[in-house]
Structure 1
Amino acid sequence: MELTEKEKQEQKLERIKEESKNYLFKDTWYRDIQPVLTNATFILAVIFSILTLLIDFKSGTYFTGVLILTSVLVLGNLTSMIFDKKRGIISQLISLASYSGLLVLILFYLINIKIALFSLIALVFIILALAMQIVTTIHSLTRDKDNSEGSYIHIGNFAEAYKKFGRGLYYWWFRHHKIAEFIRYFMVGNIVTVIQFIILPVLQLIFKNTNLINTDFRFLGPIGAADKIITLENGLKVFDPYYVFNFTAGPIGSSIERTLNGISGQYLSRGGLAYFLAMFITLVIAQILTFIMQRKVAFKSNSNLPKAIIWFVIATIIITLGQNALYGLYQPWLYGTFGDAIGGIAASFVQALISFWVFYPIFKIIFKKEE
């Protein structure tokens, strides 16, 4: 008797479930992903070390030191892939020394010179890469001499390593569907954020050449001090009270004479109605994409569509207003405590964190799976 499509699908799922159980509970399954993680962290560490050279350091002693260590690191990793086990281990030890040197050099720069964004990111990936390199080197040193597989990161093992990694990831994804859902939610959010970063500058460029840039737009505020003063790069002190939506007329970074809340003086310009419309249109596009992708890709929901749209719109409005209102409360404290550079990064991180963790449980309710 021929099986139906549903029965075939059920058999396939049972087979995958059994295979994944047998695979994931072996003591050596983690070794299959080790070469991939070692590779990935190495590449990211090198990329951000180079960005640190070009953007943060530019020249000088730190530039020279990081350039030399990064070059040695690349050569060490390449030779460890090409050579046999004995010379490969020597190359891995060289890589370990290079990672350690980079870690000390960048950490010293961050502590004693200044906090720089790409240096911070590079530091994180160097620490991760160093940890993976230590694991890889230990495994290479403790492996049986007669083991024909050689070094885990030997170039001859890459194809098999990635094949095993893909199989292990597939099995893990199948067995941990709730964690997989969370990862999909995270990835969709990041994709939409990238799209926003692309659309927003384009719309700002279009609208800033219109008269809309000379029209004020403010909504909900001021939050905190109405006479808050900041200093521009040219030394000019201007008023900049916080509003949930604050788009004072004039080109970004300039100032304009205004009387707000009974206080007259120069106020920081924020692009006017032109920049508000650019932001608003971008936000609407982003939320439409978020709704479609989170519903179908991340949560795979089949709930009532009109009902989901209504609740999504209500939740988005409330969360967006609340998130921006809170920003006006913690942003001055973060800037005052950590300075403009670290404070700006911390404020953006807190804002993103609030949005991320508030939206997730709400999406779980809105985008339910109905039997």
Structure 2
Amino acid sequence: MKNWIGSHPDLWEFIKFNVLSNIATVTNFILLWLGTGFLFKTFSEQSFNWFIFNYSVENGGLTGFLSFLLAYVGAQIVNYIVQRNLVFGANNSISSTLHWYILTVVFAGVVSIILPPYTISLFTGFGFSIGVAQTIANVVNIFLQVVINYPMLKFVIMKK
């Protein structure tokens, strides 16, 4: 295994990135389910429409918006710590790159908050329940976050 890792360091890093991102993924799902099931449940009959965000009651309403936001922010905090320490082993100054991380997660976060009402509507249209549709929408968001975050982390934020 050590020989293979030595021969394929970039591939090994990408594998570690994806495997250890599951810590943030688990955090994301737990916070999403806590938000929709308990923390923000009282807002489930209230739509949320502001600026570019369009969460009708059928697509989760204010409960969905707040839950996706909480899940995303919590997961990104966990992900930063895990990726910096366990994947990239970054030793650069946090203060010199933190602004890039914040910009990256804000961009990915806006995408992740705009997209769910549309994906939820699509999946409920296929006959899935709102809870299952929200979970699938979260999977879509997590995939997009990998596509956005990995190159930024590797080449800009946590380069050695």
Tell me if both proteins adopt one fold, taking TM over 0.5 as the criterion.
yes
Aligned counterparts of 2:48 and 2:70: Cα–Cα separation in 1: 15
- The equivalent position to 1:358 in structure 2, one of 130, 148, 153, is 148
Amino acid at match of 1:205: G
RMSD: 3.4
Higher RCO (C-alpha under 8 Å, 6+ residues apart): 2
The aligned length equals 152
Aligned counterparts of 2:96 and 2:136: Cα–Cα separation in 1: 36
8 A contact 1:247–1:276 mirrored in 2: no
Change (3 A) 1:279 1:346: closer
What's 1:246 paired with?
55
Deviations 1:149-194 (A, max 9, x none): xxxxxxxxxxxxxxxxxxxx23312332211111111112222112
8 A contact 2:55–2:61 mirrored in 1: no
- The equivalent position to 1:216 in structure 2, one of 44, 47, 53, is 47
Deviations 1:216-245 (A, max 9, x none): 322344xxxxxxxxxxxxxxxxxxxxxx45
8 A contact 1:208–1:271 mirrored in 2: no
Give 1 or 2: higher helix fraction. Answer: 2
Structure 2 unmatched ranges of 5 or more: none
Residue 192 (str. 1) matches residue 24 (str. 2) = yes
What's 1:207 paired with?
39
Change (3 A) 1:300 1:175: same
Aligned counterparts of 1:358 and 1:269: Cα–Cα separation in 2: 25
- The equivalent position to 1:315 in structure 2, one of 104, 109, 117, is 104
What's 1:230 paired with?
none
- The equivalent position to 1:282 in structure 2, one of 67, 71, 76, is 71
Deviations 1:82-125 (A, max 9, x none): xxxxxxxxxxxxxxxxxxxxxxxxxxxxxxxxxxxxxxxxxxxx
What's 1:40 paired with?
none
Structure 1 unmatched ranges of 5 or more: 1-168, 222-243, 249-267
Change (3 A) 1:309 1:279: same
**1:308 deviation in Å?**
2.3
Amino acid at match of 1:316: V
Tell me the TM-score normalized by structure 1. Answer: 0.35
Residue 181 (str. 1) matches residue 13 (str. 2) = yes
Amino acid at match of 1:361: P
Aligned counterparts of 1:281 and 1:328: Cα–Cα separation in 2: 16
Aligned to 2:49, the other structure's residue is in SS state strand
Change (3 A) 1:203 1:317: same
Amino acid at match of 2:81: I
**1:324 deviation in Å?**
5.1
Aligned to 2:126, the other structure's residue is in SS state helix
Greater C-alpha radius of gyration? 1
8 A contact 1:301–1:368 mirrored in 2: yes
8 A contact 2:32–2:67 mirrored in 1: yes
8 A contact 1:217–1:245 mirrored in 2: yes
Residue 292 (str. 1) matches residue 81 (str. 2) = yes
